[in-house]
């Protein structure tokens, strides 16, 4: 790949992807589109490419870029705050932005890799989530991602179709998410609470389990998707659930603390109590093999969080 486009490239996953592409391919030309509603410039320190600061949902992509200008398009731009309930805002932003990007890709047959979400599965109490299950989104964010998958299928099946790959990211954590605040991963939020000397707060009674996947594994899966042989939708997770109680135990070990959880009532009826990716299709179709089990990922990430916290204290 000589030239790629990344939408949402100043965000959490997008910035990690952009910097990794430049690390692997020193001569690559990376162009980012990000309106900075949920992006952060400091995520891109060291970035060598171009950045267009515009709203993707209203941008004239066909007027701005030439057909065939990019060898791959990675569409990661999205409203990602799952607590937003304004359906018009969420769907207009997420779906219309995707529609414009897909049309740009269609004009030149450029492979398009886009971010979907495990939120498409909705509320599950147990068991693995497979791509062939019916979508049952429990919030408008998950619904918007299902609409993206519907559109992708239409583009793929239309005359002159092109490769379009959707990735259902599970609960991603890692470097570059601090700017997301309350929308950052629970691993980040719990680590910051414990670092500040507070008891980690989780919903009663900590048995809820999530498939936490390290951002480095997510970036690898996203790059593998660009080389996929055909269109499709794939789960991107670790393949195993971890309870919040287990997360706190692992953080205590990594950070040298001994904090007990502070349990409180869950106020969200659409909360996912269990996520667990069946990654068989991603292994077979993409060659995806996650390298960071939860203990390794947390150990590495906790060191980063503690170092960042020390830097902030020095600055203040």
Q: Which long-range contacts (CB under 8 A, 24 or more apart) does 254-259 make?
A: 254/298, 254/299, 254/302, 254/303, 255/191, 255/194, 255/195, 255/302, 255/306, 257/194, 259/194, 259/198, 259/199, 259/200
Nearest-angstrom CA–CA distance, 154 and 299: 42
Nearest-angstrom CA–CA distance, 34 and 88: 20
Tokens of 284: 């077979």
Active site residue 271: no
Q: Which distant-in-sequence residues (6+ apart) come within 8 Å of 229 by Cβ?
A: 285
Q: Which of 151, 170, 44, 48 is nearest to 106 (CA)?
A: 151
Active site residue 141: yes
Kindly provide the residue ranges of all beta strands, DSSP E only, lying in the chain, ordered along the sequence. 3-7, 29-33, 50-52, 72-75, 112-117, 164-169, 171-173, 201-203, 209-210, 212-214, 232-236, 242-243, 262-264
Which is catalytic among the residues 114, 121, 141, 188?
A: 141
Largest CA distance in the chain: 60
Which is catalytic among the residues 163, 180, 214, 216?
A: 180
Report the catalytic residues: 141, 180
């Amino acid at each position: 790949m000589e030239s790629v486009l990344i939408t949402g490239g100043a965000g959490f996953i997008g910035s990690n992807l952009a910097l990794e592409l430049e690390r692997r391919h020193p001569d690559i030309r990376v162009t980012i589109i990000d309106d900075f509603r949920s992006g952060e410039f400091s995520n891109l320190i060291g970035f060598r490419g171009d950045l267009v600061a515009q709203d993707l949902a209203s941008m004239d992509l066909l007027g701005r870029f030439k057909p065939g200008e990019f060898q791959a398009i990675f569409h990661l731009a999205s409203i990602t705050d799952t607590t937003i309930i304004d359906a018009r805002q969420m769907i207009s932003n997420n779906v219309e932005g995707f529609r414009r990007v897909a049309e740009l890709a269609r004009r030149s047959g450029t492979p398009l890799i886009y971010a979907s979400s495990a939120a498409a599965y909705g509320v599950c109490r147990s068991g693995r989530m497979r791509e062939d299950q019916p979508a049952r989104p429990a919030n408008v964010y998950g619904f918007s991602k299902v609409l993206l998958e519907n559109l992708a299928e239409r583009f793929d099946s239309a005359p002159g179709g092109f490769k379009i790959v959707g990735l259902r990211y599970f609960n991603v954590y890692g470097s570059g998410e601090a700017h997301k605040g309350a929308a950052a991963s629970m691993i980040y939020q719990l680590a910051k609470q414990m670092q500040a000397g507070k008891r980690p707060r989780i919903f009663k009674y900590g048995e809820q389990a999530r498939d936490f996947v390290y951002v480095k594994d997510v970036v690898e899966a996203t790059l593998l998707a660009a080389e996929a042989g055909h269109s499709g939708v794939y789960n991107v997770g670790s393949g195993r659930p971890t309870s919040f109680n287990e997360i706190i135990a692992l953080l205590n070990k990594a950070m040298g603390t001994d904090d007990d959880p502070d349990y409180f009532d869950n106020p969200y009826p659409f909360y996912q109590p269990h996520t667990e990716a069946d990654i068989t299709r991603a292994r077979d179709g993409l060659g995806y093999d996650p390298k960071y089990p939860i203990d390794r990922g947390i150990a590495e990430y906790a060191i980063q969080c503690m170092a960042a916290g020390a830097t902030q204290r020095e600055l203040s």
